[in-house]
């Protein structure tokens, strides 16, 4: 039996004005377990807290009920008081007789009667309280960043700067991501490579950072602080540590007609290749699908010319196991496929391109060395039409695009249009838009400059169709302001394709038990207050894997994710919330109902041996809750048919005791 | 009037025993009377020949027995499963309640089983012998000289009249012909009660449930009730067994029981079959099944192994409880 | 005006993150609702076992209301979605047994909706009062 | 105005179109092959029906200029289906007493070697009740 002390607070006149506090403390004296009951003006004051501490000592109290304001207000305070008095802090219950009683009821008899009932419920509950101790788990002081674009790079650099080791896993042969493919960046027009490549070098040179390029995450086990990850290093047939990146092999490789994915297939590369000059790691990779030596054993030229002897045709995929305390997802985005948008003739004409292709076309390191030339005949275009919102903001039932706004297109299209007019003032540039969305620092000014200083023709309306005719592209569009249908003979049409999360995100989310929305963007733990954390503890989100983002936003989110990771890794031990679920294995059926409703993947199963009454043993599958992962929602307790699953702090018998006390 | 014969089953069981495929057979054996067929583990051919029966009274759903039988037995067990039993079989596998490798399941066709209460209502007590005669049963009682002729169709169990499937959803081997899932009218009776006024519904259930003697037969026979420790047997649960007292207690017991199996109940009808007080308990389970089908889309528990039960699942667009009633009011 | 002597007993289960905070806000703003409502704090509406609801009725409660975060706002991401399915099934079953459907309710109240909390409670108490005493659900042995 | 409200609802119900889904991008009009023939263009149909401004549409020749090629339906990113609205308004017009766009008597005058018979038949079907 508990020895319960009841402390009724007046809260000045806040409670005492509508509740007869004397009557409440008097009435609660007779409740089971109560050995002491009193009231005081301000229970939360130092004097009030001292009163509690003294009473604990004097009456050997094992449980405390404070009838006062909301537990959301002072539960923590009184728990500390209890701890200071040598009690377990979880032996405190609060009866909310201010917000939910004295403040909402007018007359004293009603208020007093309800306060007594609320007090009784709290006493009934505290009688069944058990001391709780938060669980502790160690933290592996190493972080994993999945994805080596600007988001992953920035996150890794920030974590490494704080002194923690970080591994980056990138599926491409080099880090850099989409930003490495861009020409200039809005709204300042600095060149993407000039600001990105130094960061890539920083990554390569940072002692705390390891890069696993041309690699994928193949398995994730464990939980916050203790992830166990298997990384698959795909065979690149070049010894990374020996290759100097001299490029002799690339030059000699006879297989030179492989579409170059870095330039989106607008030119060719060789079978052994380095994606671009500033690649990190600057190491060659052999594409096994096009290398003659790997396909049929004939060639081997690259091995002959490699002075360092780095080529190894027998290299196999390698699996690496590593432990991490935190995982950052930075898997990024891709433009959607234009296959379903026949009206723009993307697949019919080479001169209809996406904006990312346009970036490569204007990039000095791109297939045209930065000269704006039409992909079909290399002529310089005189009329360019930009189409916005291609596949963005589509109705779900239209089934070919995305429902959301891709966010970055308005700004990069303004940038493209402006750059064209700047370099080639005799080119006519049309931008067809539905809305121009420019929230961001210096964004609208940038767009206005495109119109006012550079003379880009912005037309409110959508392009209906693009038809190749001769060497022209017939563009039919509406001008909603002037109320006419426009027919433009264009030389180049640029589509602002919607962006979508990378395809690797979905299987990764499954491995992480991290939740995703219907568009395959990762869900954040709270849309406003915890935007860089996944609901799964220890998993953080960086960049466009969480939603469409531009570079400044990505970088700031990357930094925020890094600071969350640093905060986690700085701890030696993780102290959990002790109000977590636990399973009584004697009653557990192993039916998996609880596991299915757990939003955190905190429940696993193990085969356990039980001794039966007849001295035989029996092996049964039983649920096990990982207290470091459980957040204490209690969904599992209701899903469990046998009642084996219960929740600390809100146990079934405690809640039923409260119900009984109220319904007496 | 079963199409497959007792001898065929004995032969099958004996051959599987002798070739070592299985080490025991879970089957039906004759009880004290012709109609109280009892489950039994057979381990020898002699035992099979002597005691194994297969007739119109073999209603027992063996799936549940596998939970305890496989636990305490080292070898492999042969089990005969009627189509409706196979759903429970799958559901228990979904819940990891027994090991599939320990069981050799033989699917057998079923033409429906006889409701002993219905039979006795025609013939009276004191049944001493039951013989098959075409589509009829010839029932001899100790009180009458001549046997009474009862049409098989007239004394079928409710669950067999509204049979939902003649198709086996799980087996290692199938005897006889495979059937189809049937468009049954099993929800009609639920709909009838739904159409009553609240007062009528209350009176209906008050009448039915007040007969409950809390014998727990429904729970003990239910293949979804395989908890290691049932909440009604657990003094800590707050709902432990109490003596019946013609009040809310019985309703609470039956609501909680139906709720605990909701989404997992395959509608096998064992609860109503075994109820000594003839309470239509299956209606409570069917109500949940009907609601789940209407609110969240058709779902048949046990149709496949590993499916996610509707109550441990959700969509963001689910109906609100209030909308459930609004919709019903509009339909009415 | 019909004079109803019976004061109903209402048990309200409120989730800690939204509805309990909404109730606190109603208090902060001094929004009145009947004292018949007694709140039990749970971490999430998905902690509410149908057995608790039945238990309350068994012990003589006249109405039971469960309040949680709005769909999509659950602190634990999906808890209230499970609550919604569980309570839809339970309430429908109680209705099937002839128990007045106004005695049970599920409401979404956010931490900012103090006014909605008070209005919901006022409305619920009014409806339950109109039904009178809970006779169909109580367990006479549990009554004092 | 009351009358228009009724008409608006009738047209929305008959067409099954929800004009509120329109995001006013104008792709329907951009894609319309009969644009230059029309007084009111597909996007205007959507907008005018939504605002209940239906009388001008009922009296407009545009109703008969729509080719029912359904390009606007195919291309609309929001799934609004403007051609169905045009069709519904046209039905409202020709259903009125004496408002048949074509009668049997009109047909001989339209006969022409060049015109496919099928076109006449379909026009006849479409433009009269």
Query: What are the pLDDT digits (tens) for B59-79?
Result: 999 999 998 888 778 899 999
Q: Give the least confident one: A38-47, A307-316, B234-243.
A: B234-243
CB A231 within 8 A of CB A215: yes
Q: Are residues B197 and B243 in the same domain?
A: yes
Q: What is the mean pLDDT of residues A85-97?
A: 96
Would B180 be classed as within a structural domain? Answer: no
- A143-331+502-569: which CATH architecture? 3-Layer(bba) Sandwich (3.50)
Radius of gyration in angstroms for the set of CA atoms belonging to chain C, rounded to a whole number: 15
Would B183 be classed as within a structural domain? Answer: no
pLDDT of the residue at A309:
93
Query: What are the pLDDT digits (tens) for A193-202?
Result: 999 999 999 9
pLDDT of the residue at C144:
45
Q: B-side interface with A, Cβ within 8 Å?
A: 71-72, 94-97, 226-231, 234, 236-238, 260-261, 264, 308-309, 311-313
pLDDT of the residue at C4:
53
Domain that holds residue B141: 116-155
Query: What are the pLDDT digits (tens) for A388-397?
Result: 999 999 986 6
User: What is the distance in angstroms between the Cα of C1 and the nearest Cα belonging to chain A?
Assistant: 23
Mention the CATH class of domain A581-648. Answer: alpha beta
Q: Are residues B92 and B194 in the same domain?
A: no
Would B198 be classed as within a structural domain? Answer: yes
Please state whether the peptide bond connecting residue A187 to the residue before it is cis, i.e. omega within 30 degrees of 0: yes
Query: What domains can be seen in chain C, in order of their start residue?
Result: 10-139 (3.40.50)
Q: Are residues B122 and B107 in the same domain?
A: no
Helix, strand, coil content of chain C in percent (nearest 5): 45, 15, 40
Q: Give the least confident one: B39-48, C100-109, D56-65, D101-110.
A: D101-110
Q: Cβ contacts (< 8 Å) between B318 and chain C: which residues?
A: 81, 84-85, 88
Query: What are the pLDDT digits (tens) for B245-280?
Result: 556 677 888 999 999 999 999 999 999 999 999 999
State how far the Cα of A430 lies from the Cα of A524, in Å rounded to an integer: 38
pLDDT of the residue at C143:
52
User: What is the distance in angstroms between the Cα of D124 and the nearest Cα belonging to chain A?
Assistant: 29
* pLDDT higher than threshold 50 for residue B118: yes
Mention the CATH class of domain A333-500. Answer: alpha beta
Q: What is the mean pLDDT of each run of 10 residues along chain C (144 residues)?
A: 71 94 93 95 96 91 95 86 96 93 94 93 95 79 52
- What ipTM does this complex have? 0.79
Compare CB distances from A650 to C25, C42, C60 and report the shortest one's residue.
C42
CB A173 within 8 A of CB A215: no
* pLDDT higher than threshold 80 for residue A398: no
pLDDT of the residue at D20:
93
Q: Cβ contacts (< 8 Å) between B95 and chain A: which residues?
A: 589-593
**Is A99 at the interface with chain C, CB within 8 A?**
yes
Question: What is the dihedral angle through the alpha carbons of B16, B20, B21, B27, rounded to the nearest 10 degrees?
Answer: 50
* pLDDT higher than threshold 60 for residue B211: yes
Query: What are the pLDDT digits (tens) for A126-183?
Result: 999 999 998 888 999 999 999 999 999 999 999 999 999 999 999 999 999 999 999 9
Would B181 be classed as within a structural domain? Answer: no
Q: Are residues B61 and B83 in the same domain?
A: yes
CB C109 within 8 A of CB C116: yes
- Would you list the domain boundaries of chain D? 2-96, 101-129
State how far the Cα of A452 lies from the Cα of A444, in Å rounded to an integer: 12
CB A250 within 8 A of CB A273: yes
Residue A470 burial (CB count, 10 A): 7
**Is A591 at the interface with chain B, CB within 8 A?**
yes
Same fold flag, A4-126 and A581-648? no
Q: Cβ contacts (< 8 Å) between A662 and chain C: which residues?
A: 9, 11, 38, 40, 56, 61
CB A605 within 8 A of CB A623: yes
User: What is the distance in angstroms between the Cα of C136 and the nearest Cα belonging to chain B?
Assistant: 7
Would B283 be classed as within a structural domain? Answer: yes
When divided into structural domains, chain B yields a total of 3
- Would you list the domain boundaries of chain A? 4-126, 143-331+502-569, 333-500, 581-648
Q: Are residues B238 and B312 in the same domain?
A: yes
CB C1 within 8 A of CB C95: no
Query: What are the pLDDT digits (tens) for B171-195?
Result: 999 998 899 999 889 999 999 999 9
CATH number of D2-96: 1.10.1060.10
User: What is the distance in angstroms between the Cα of C92 and the nearest Cα belonging to chain A?
Assistant: 18
Residue percentage of chain D with pLDDT more than 90: 57
Residue B280 burial (CB count, 10 A): 16
Query: What are the pLDDT digits (tens) for A358-397?
Result: 999 999 999 999 999 999 999 999 999 999 999 999 986 6
State how far the Cα of B51 lies from the Cα of B48, in Å rounded to an integer: 5
User: What are residue C15's DSSP bridge partners?
Assistant: C42
Q: Are residues B147 and B240 in the same domain?
A: no
Cβ separation D30–A464 shorter than 8 A:
yes
Q: Give residue B30's pLDDT band: very low, low, confident or very high (50, 70, 90).
A: confident
Cβ separation A596–B313 shorter than 8 A:
yes
Topology of domain A4-126, per CATH?
Rossmann fold (3.40.50)
Q: What is the mean pLDDT of residues D78-86?
A: 93
Cβ separation C39–A650 shorter than 8 A:
no
pLDDT of the residue at B246:
55
Q: Give the least confident one: A555-564, B121-130, C27-36.
A: B121-130
State how far the Cα of A367 lies from the Cα of A261, in Å rounded to an integer: 11
Would B264 be classed as within a structural domain? Answer: yes
Q: Cβ contacts (< 8 Å) between A100 and chain C: which residues?
A: 23-24, 27, 39
CB D32 within 8 A of CB D41: yes
pLDDT of the residue at B145:
81
The rounded mean pLDDT for chain A is 94
Q: Are residues B195 and B270 in the same domain?
A: yes
Query: What are the pLDDT digits (tens) for D24-81?
Result: 999 999 999 999 999 999 999 999 999 999 999 999 999 999 988 999 999 999 999 9
SS (H, E, C) chain B: CCCCCHHHHHHHHHHHHHCCCCCEEEEEECCCCCCCCEEEEECCHHHHHHHECCCCCCCCCCHHHHHHHHHCCCCCEEEEECHHHHHHHHHHHHCCCCCHHHEEEEECCCCCCECHHHHHHHHCCCEEEEEEECCEEEEEECCCCCCEEEEHHHHECHHHHCCCECCCCCCCEECCCCCCECCCCCCHHHHHHHCCCHHHHHHHHHHHHCCCCCCCHHHHHCCCCCCCCCHHHCCCCCCCCCCCCCCHHHHHHHHHHHHHHCCCCCCCCHHHHHCCCCCCCHHHHHHHHHHHHHHHCCCCCCCCCCCCCHHHCCCCCCCCHHHHHHHHHHHC
**Is A659 at the interface with chain B, CB within 8 A?**
no
């Amino acid at each position: 039996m508990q020895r319960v002390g009841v402390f009724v607070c007046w809260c000045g006149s806040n409670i005492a004005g509508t509740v007869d506090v004397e009557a409440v403390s008097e009435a609660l004296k007779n409740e089971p377990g109560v050995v002491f009951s009193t009231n005081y003006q301000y229970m939360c004051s130092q004097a009030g807290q001292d009163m509690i501490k003294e009473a604990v000592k004097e009456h050997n109290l094992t449980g405390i009920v404070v009838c006062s304001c909301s537990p959301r207000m002072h539960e923590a305070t009184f728990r500390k008081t209890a701890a200071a008095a040598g009690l377990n802090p979880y032996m405190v219950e609060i009866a909310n007789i201010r917000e939910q009683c004295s403040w909402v009821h007018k007359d004293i008899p009603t208020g007093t009667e309800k306060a007594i009932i609320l007090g009784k419920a709290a006493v009934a509950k505290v009688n069944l309280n058990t001391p709780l101790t938060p669980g502790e788990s160690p933290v592996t002081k190493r972080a994993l960043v999945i994805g080596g674009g600007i988001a992953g790079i920035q996150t890794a650099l920030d974590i490494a700067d704080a002194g923690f080791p970080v591994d980056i896993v990138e599926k491409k042969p080099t880090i850099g991501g989409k930003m490495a493919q861009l020409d200039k960046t809005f709204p300042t027009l600095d060149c993407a490579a000039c600001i990105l490549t130094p960061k890539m070098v920083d990554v390569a040179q940072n002692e705390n950072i390891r890069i696993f390029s041309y690699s994928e995450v193949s398995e994730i086990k464990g939980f916050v602080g203790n992830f166990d990850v298997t990384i698959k290093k795909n065979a690149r047939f070049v010894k990374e540590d020996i290759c100097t990146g001299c490029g002799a092999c690339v030059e000699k490789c006879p297989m030179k007609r492989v579409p170059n994915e870095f330039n989106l297939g607008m030119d060719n590369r060789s079978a052994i290749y380095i994606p671009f000059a500033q690649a990190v790691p600057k190491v060659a990779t052999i594409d096994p699908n096009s290398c003659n030596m790997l396909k049929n054993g004939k060639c081997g030229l690259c091995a002959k010319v490699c002075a360092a002897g780095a080529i190894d045709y027998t290299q196999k995929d390698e699996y690496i196991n590593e432990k991490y305390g935190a995982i950052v997802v930075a898997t990024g985005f891709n433009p959607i496929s234009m296959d379903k948008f026949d009206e723009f003739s993307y697949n019919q004409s080479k001169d209809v391109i996406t904006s990312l292709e346009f970036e490569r076309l204007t990039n000095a390191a791109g297939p045209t060395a930065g000269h704006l030339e039409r992909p079909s005949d290399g002529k310089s275009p005189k009329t360019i039409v930009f189409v916005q919102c291609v596949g963005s903001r589509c109705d779900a039932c239209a089934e070919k695009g995305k429902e959301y706004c891709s966010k970055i297109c308005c700004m990069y299209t303004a940038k493209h249009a402006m750059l064209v007019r700047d370099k080639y003032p005799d080119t006519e540039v049309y931008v067809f838009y539905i809305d121009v969305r420019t929230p961001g620092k210096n964004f609208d000014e940038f767009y206005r400059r495109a119109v006012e200083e550079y003379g880009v023709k912005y037309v409110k309306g959508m392009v209906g169709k693009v038809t190749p005719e001769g060497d022209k592209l017939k563009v039919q569009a509406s001008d909603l302001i002037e109320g006419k249908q426009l027919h433009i003979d264009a030389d180049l049409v640029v589509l602002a394709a919607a962006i979508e999360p990378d395809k690797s995100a979905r299987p990764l989310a499954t491995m992480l038990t991290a939740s995703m929305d219907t568009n395959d963007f990762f869900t954040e733990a709270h849309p406003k207050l915890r935007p860089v954390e996944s609901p799964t503890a220890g998993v953080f989100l960086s960049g466009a894997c969480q939603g469409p983002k531009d570079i400044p936003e990505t970088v700031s989110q990357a930094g925020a994710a890094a600071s969350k990771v640093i905060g986690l890794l700085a701890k030696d031990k993780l102290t959990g919330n002790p109000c977590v679920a636990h399973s009584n294995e004697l009653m557990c059926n192993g039916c998996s109902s609880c596991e299915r409703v757990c939003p955190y993947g905190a429940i696993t199963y193990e085969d356990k041996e039980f001794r039966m009454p007849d001295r035989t043993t029996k092996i049964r599958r039983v649920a096990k809750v990982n207290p470091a992962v459980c957040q204490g929602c209690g969904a599992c307790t209701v899903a469990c048919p046998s009642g084996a699953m219960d929740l600390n702090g809100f146990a079934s018998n405690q809640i039923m005791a409260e119900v009984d006390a109220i319904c007496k | 009037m079963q199409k497959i014969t007792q001898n065929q089953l004995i032969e099958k069981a004996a051959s599987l025993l002798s070739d070592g495929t299985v080490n025991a057979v879970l089957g039906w054996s004759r009880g004290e009377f012709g109609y109280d067929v009892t489950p039994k583990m057979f381990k020898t051919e002699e035992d099979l020949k002597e005691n194994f029966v297969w007739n119109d009274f073999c209603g027992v759903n063996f799936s549940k027995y596998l939970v305890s039988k496989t636990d305490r037995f080292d070898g492999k067990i042969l089990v005969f499963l009627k189509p409706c039993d196979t759903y429970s079989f799958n559901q228990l596998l979904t819940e990891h309640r027994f090991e599939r490798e320990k069981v050799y399941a033989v699917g057998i066709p079923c033409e429906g089983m006889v409701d002993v209460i219905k039979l006795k209502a025609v013939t009276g007590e004191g049944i001493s012998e039951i013989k098959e005669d075409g589509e009829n049963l010839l029932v001899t009682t100790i009180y009458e000289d001549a046997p009474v002729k009862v049409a098989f169709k007239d004394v079928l169990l409710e669950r067999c009249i509204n049979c939902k499937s003649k198709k086996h959803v799980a087996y290692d081997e199938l005897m006889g012909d495979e059937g189809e899932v049937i468009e049954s009218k099993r929800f009609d009776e639920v709909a009838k009660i739904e159409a009553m006024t609240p007062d009528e519904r209350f009176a209906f259930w008050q009448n039915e449930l007040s007969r409950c003697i809390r014998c727990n037969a429904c729970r003990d026979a239910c293949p979804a009730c395989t908890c290691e420790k049932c909440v009604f047997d657990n003094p800590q649960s707050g709902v432990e067994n109490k003596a019946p007292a013609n009040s809310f207690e019985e309703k609470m017991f039956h609501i909680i029981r139906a709720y605990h199996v909701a989404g997992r109940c395959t509608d096998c009808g064992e609860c109503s079959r075994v109820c000594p007080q003839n309470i239509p308990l299956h209606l409570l389970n069917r109500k949940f099944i009907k609601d789940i089908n209407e609110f969240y889309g058709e779902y048949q528990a046990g149709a496949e192994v590993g499916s996610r039960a509707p109550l441990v699942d959700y969509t963001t667009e689910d109906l609100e409880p209030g909308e459930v009633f609004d919709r019903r009011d509009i339909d009415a | 005006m019909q004079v109803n002597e019976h004061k109903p007993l209402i048990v309200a289960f409120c989730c800690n993150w939204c509805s309990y905070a909404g109730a606190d806000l109603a208090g902060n703003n001094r929004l009145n609702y009947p004292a018949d409502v007694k709140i039990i704090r749970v971490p999430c509406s998905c902690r509410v076992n149908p057995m608790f609801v039945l238990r309350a009725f068994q012990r003589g409660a006249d109405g039971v209301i469960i309040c949680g975060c709005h769909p999509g706002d659950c602190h634990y991401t999906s808890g209230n979605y499970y609550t919604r399915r569980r309570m839809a099934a339970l309430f429908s079953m109680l209705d099937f047994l002839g128990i007045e459907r106004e005695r049970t309710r599920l409401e979404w109240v956010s931490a900012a909706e103090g006014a909605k909390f008070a209005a919901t409670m006022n409305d619920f108490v009014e409806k339950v009062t109109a039904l009178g005493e809970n006779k169909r659900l109580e367990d006479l042995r549990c009554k004092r | 105005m009351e009358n228009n409200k009724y008409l608006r609802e009738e047209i929305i119900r008959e067409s099954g179109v929800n004009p509120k889904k329109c995001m006013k991008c104008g792709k329907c009009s951009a894609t319309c092959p009969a644009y230059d023939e029309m007084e009111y263009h597909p996007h205007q149909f959507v907008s005018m029906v939504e605002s209940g401004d239906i009388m001008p549409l009922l009296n407009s020749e545009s109703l008969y200029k729509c080719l029912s090629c359904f390009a606007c339906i195919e291309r609309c990113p929001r799934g609004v289906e403007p051609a169905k609205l045009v069709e519904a308004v046209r039905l409202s017009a020709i259903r009125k007493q004496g408002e048949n766009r074509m009668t049997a008597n009109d047909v001989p005058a339209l006969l022409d070697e060049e015109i496919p018979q099928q076109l006449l038949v379909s026009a006849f079907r479409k433009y009269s009740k």
